[in-house]
Amino acid sequence: MNPDAFAFQANFTPVQLASQAARYSSGLKRNLWTLVVAGLIFAVLYFVQKPMNELARSLLTWFIGFSAVLAVVSGVQLAWARRLLGRLGQGMAIRIDPAGIALATDDGLVGVPWSQISAVGAKNHQKPPGPELVVRGLEKGQQWKVPFSYLDVMPGSIDSAVRAHTQGRLQLDLSALDRVW
């Protein structure tokens, strides 16, 4: 029997990051248009109403300032999303088989046998790229991470593969992603 027949593989996918980058790009365009329209309104009122009402000038100045801040924030978010998209790997991200887990890292493919794994879990991040799959080794501080948003499978599929290949000894612990209300 071919050992690859029992392997589970998850690949890198750009779908979620590309969608996020598109949302940030749309927000940046909207904020820039808001800034341009507010600037035009301010210019028209400034030249039509001399002297300009102090309250109107203050409100428009605050609105233009707020629009400028939103445009800068949107630009930073878009740059961050594009940077993450550029760092996204190609091909296989995770391979789970009877021998262990292989994960794609910055240093290449790292294979970890089941005997050297103490836990498979998740780590919560609010900032992009978001929550990560974490494989913890037996040695203190030894761990490997892959963001869930980079993968083309859901966490439940990974959990099923881990449980099957460890005969229930390990499971994907997602308790770090729970929110306390």
Residue 28, pLDDT score: 93
Specify whether 166 is located in the same domain as 99: yes
Specify whether 98 is located in the same domain as 171: yes
Q: Are strands 172-173 and 117-123 parallel, antiparallel or unpaired?
A: parallel
Angle at 133 between CA 128 and CA 137, to 5 degrees: 135
Residue 79, pLDDT score: 92
Residue 1, pLDDT score: 42
Q: How far apart are CA 46 and CA 106, in angstroms?
A: 55
95: containing domain: 3-12+90-177
At position 88, the amino acid (one-letter code) is L
Q: In what order do the strands lie in the sheet with 117-123?
A: 143-147, 132-137, 117-123, 172-173
Q: How far apart are CA 101 and CA 99, in angstroms?
A: 7
What parts of the chain have a pLDDT lower than 70?
A: 1-5, 52, 179-181
Q: What is the pTM of this model?
A: 0.70
How many folded domains does the chain comprise? 2
Q: How far apart are CA 66 and CA 60, in angstroms?
A: 10
Specify whether 114 is located in the same domain as 164: yes
Residue where one domain finishes, among candidates 57, 87, 117 = 87
Residue 175, pLDDT score: 86
Specify whether 50 is located in the same domain as 116: no
Residue 125, pLDDT score: 76
Residue 89, pLDDT score: 78
Specify whether 168 is located in the same domain as 125: yes
Q: How do residues 102-116 score in pLDDT, each as one tens digit?
A: 988 777 788 889 999
Specify whether 126 is located in the same domain as 164: yes
Residue where one domain finishes, among candidates 42, 60, 87 = 87
